[in-house]
Structure 1
Amino acid sequence: MDGSIARPRPLLALFVRLLAAFALATMAMLVKLAGQRGAHLIELIFWRQALTMVLLGAGMAVTGKLAMLKTQRLPAHARRAASGLFGMIFTYGAVLLLPLAEATTLGFTAPVFAVLIAMVLFAERIGPYRWAAIAMGFAGVVVVMQPFGALHEGVTLAGIAVGLVAPFMVALISFQLQDLNTTENPWSIVFWFAALTTPVAALALPFVIAAHDSVTWSLILGMGFIGAMAQMLLTTSLRFGSAAVILLMDYTALLWATYYGAYVFDTAAPASLWLGAPLIIGAGLLIAWREHRLAKAKRVASAASQE
């Protein structure tokens, strides 16, 4: 198994990505439940990363593929790990501070932030399609969160702020991952992220760890296991299909988050969510479509220049 797409299998890619979206929504639900039972944010991050490191390392050892985890770019992995750890703090923080559906919906703004980062850091020219997507995405945030009016139950300005920093970090990390993917195997990227962040989280454990009952420990370990599976499913989905094709499946996480919110936390999604979420999702799809068109145009131009 290498880092490239072994063979395009779009239906399999869609199915695997669907499972990944379900796993991520389930992980978020377990994070929130464990947090409500007294588990600290740092504890949750530690076990999430430690289990990913152990499961992935053991899996590669059993299959005789440990050599795939070798790297010549440890400093780049360290930078990605630092950003990723910071991002996880805000991602999990958003889940703990906001209702699940709202936290999930804010996460969908990552493609919008990616466009803005490309413009600011890489001087990329932004055309009318992507400007329209940016406007649509943030209009959706305003509709969902209603920050200038009476906030609906469970939503705070602090939660909104944390919920917006999380997708910003996801977008920023995506550029680091693009760079790492030019030389590194995806499994190596996942493993080193977990291996480098687990000791850092462990250093903070003595200051936050607390005694838990068996139910809470089950939630914590279940969260870590499902989080590891979600990471592996995300990586596997990209082996069989392009990101532009399978992006739509990511948005099904909102359906699961809404279900968990209603039936696990007794928090029904407000009407504003169903008005604003399509705007945010539409912005992401518009950006994906435009990026696909731009990439195709570049390939055609490159082929023409070589003739």
Structure 2
Amino acid sequence: MGDGALRPGVAAASILGGMFALGITDNFVPLIAETGSLWQFHMLRGVMALVLLGIVAGVGLGVIRPLSWRAVLGRSLFTATAMLIYFGCLSVLPIGVVVAGLFTAPLFVMLISVLFLGARVGVIRIAAVLAGFVGALLVIQPDPRALDPVAFLPVLAAVFYAVGAVVTRVWCAREGTVALTAGFFAVLTVVGAIGLLILPAGGPAGPEGFVLRGWVPNTPHLLFWTAVQAVGSIIGIGLIFRGYLLGEAGTVAVFEYSLLVFASFWAWVLWGQAVGPLALLGMVLIAGAGAVITRRTDTPVPVRAVKLPEEAP
């Protein structure tokens, strides 16, 4: 992609549109969690997404076959694990806490790059990591007297996502968008099916049983909201990819942090989940830290997508 093709304004609008779509659809997960199964949700959503991606590839808008099956599978295992934790957390934690935890991923990308890839960082990025860590604590607000490990699970999701982001650059630099996305959803589909085989049918009632349930009846309610989530995810991710196609990664990646705003806004509108002053300050610190790290990294890695590889000359 040549410089003359860059359209930063349109790129920013695409990223914002993608985050707006994801901010809405991620808020619908509690509707699925009431009676649904995390594993059935991922299997059904994965099948729906793969069908849509097959159509996209069929009309010539991408190639679904990866150049390296092993590389795409390895990368997909990390990102799929991150999303399993992420969606599981959406059923029991406020979405603002979950999204903020996931958005600590750039901090871990930097740490992994330093520890395992020999990357060098300066004082500013070290300060950004510390600020992001403080921000995460302000959002989670752990009580030492009643420490709930579940509140830290979104940060664990960020660790897996960060590993996936690093190996995307190392293993999958020449892979296409459709192939990477299809690999991600294919792994989630298989993992979801395995979960259904292991866990007993039914399970505990309420959102707390979302992760523990096996197969449940496919009611029109569950199928509708699963389809909404699948379509919304494809639209959101598609807009994000388009943004990275039209703009420089280091610039447009900053706009991904709008998901913190959109997700929290829709959580307040739909569920009455208000963000307190300390949590809001924590989100600002996380977003600021991630933006600093992204802008000061040679090959920035966004949170919800991967940069589109440029075509070989």
Same fold (TM over 0.5): yes
Determine the C-alpha separation between the residues in 2 that align with 1:94 and 1:118.
27
Correspondence for 1:234: 240
Tell me if the contact between 1:4 and 1:239 (Cα under 8 Å) persists in the aligned partners.
Answer: no
1:292: Cα distance to partner?
4.9
Tell me if the contact between 1:180 and 1:189 (Cα under 8 Å) persists in the aligned partners.
Answer: no
Determine the C-alpha separation between the residues in 2 that align with 1:77 and 1:238.
20
1:17-76 Cα distance to aligned partner (Å, 9 max, x none): 1111112212211122211x2111112222232222110111221x2356x223331111
1:234: Cα distance to partner?
2.0
Number of residues of Structure 1 aligned to a counterpart in Structure 2: 285
Task: Pick one of 37, 40, 45 that aligns with 2:42.
Answer: 45
Determine the C-alpha separation between the residues in 1 that align with 2:247 and 2:145.
43
Correspondence for 1:168: 159
Listed as ranges, the matches of 1:68-217 within 5 Å are 68-148=63-143, 157-206=148-197, 207=199, 208-217=214-223
- Return the letter of the residue paired with 1:54: V
Are 2:8 and 1:10 equivalent residues in the alignment? Answer: yes
1:126: Cα distance to partner?
2.6
1:265: Cα distance to partner?
1.5
Task: Report the CA distance shift for 1:6/1:17 in structure 2 as closer, same or farther (over 3 A).
Answer: farther
Determine the C-alpha separation between the residues in 2 that align with 1:195 and 1:4.
32
Task: Pick one of 238, 244, 247 that aligns with 2:253.
Answer: 247
Task: Report the CA distance shift for 1:150/1:165 in structure 2 as closer, same or farther (over 3 A).
Answer: same
Task: Pick one of 48, 53, 64 that aligns with 2:60.
Answer: 64
Runs of 4+ in 1 over 3 A off after TM superposition: 3-6, 148-151
Task: Report the CA distance shift for 1:18/1:160 in structure 2 as closer, same or farther (over 3 A).
Answer: same
RMSD: 2.4
SS for the counterpart of 2:91 is helix
Q: Which runs of 5+ in 1 are unaligned?
A: 295-307
1:111-139 Cα distance to aligned partner (Å, 9 max, x none): 11111111121132232111101100011
Tell me if the contact between 2:140 and 2:152 (Cα under 8 Å) persists in the aligned partners.
Answer: no
1:5: Cα distance to partner?
8.7
Task: Report the CA distance shift for 1:74/1:32 in structure 2 as closer, same or farther (over 3 A).
Answer: same
Tell me if the contact between 1:84 and 1:193 (Cα under 8 Å) persists in the aligned partners.
Answer: yes
Higher CA-based Rg? 1
Task: Report the CA distance shift for 1:101/1:119 in structure 2 as closer, same or farther (over 3 A).
Answer: same
- Return the letter of the residue paired with 2:29: V
- Return the letter of the residue paired with 2:5: R
Determine the C-alpha separation between the residues in 2 that align with 1:240 and 1:271.
36
Determine the C-alpha separation between the residues in 2 that align with 1:51 and 1:24.
17
Correspondence for 2:32: 34
The structure where helix makes up a greater share of residues is 1
Q: % of aligned pairs identical?
A: 23
SS for the counterpart of 1:147 is coil
1:149: Cα distance to partner?
5.6
1:290: Cα distance to partner?
1.6
Q: Which runs of 5+ in 2 are unaligned?
A: 200-213, 301-313
- Return the letter of the residue paired with 2:55: A
Task: Report the CA distance shift for 1:261/1:196 in structure 2 as closer, same or farther (over 3 A).
Answer: closer
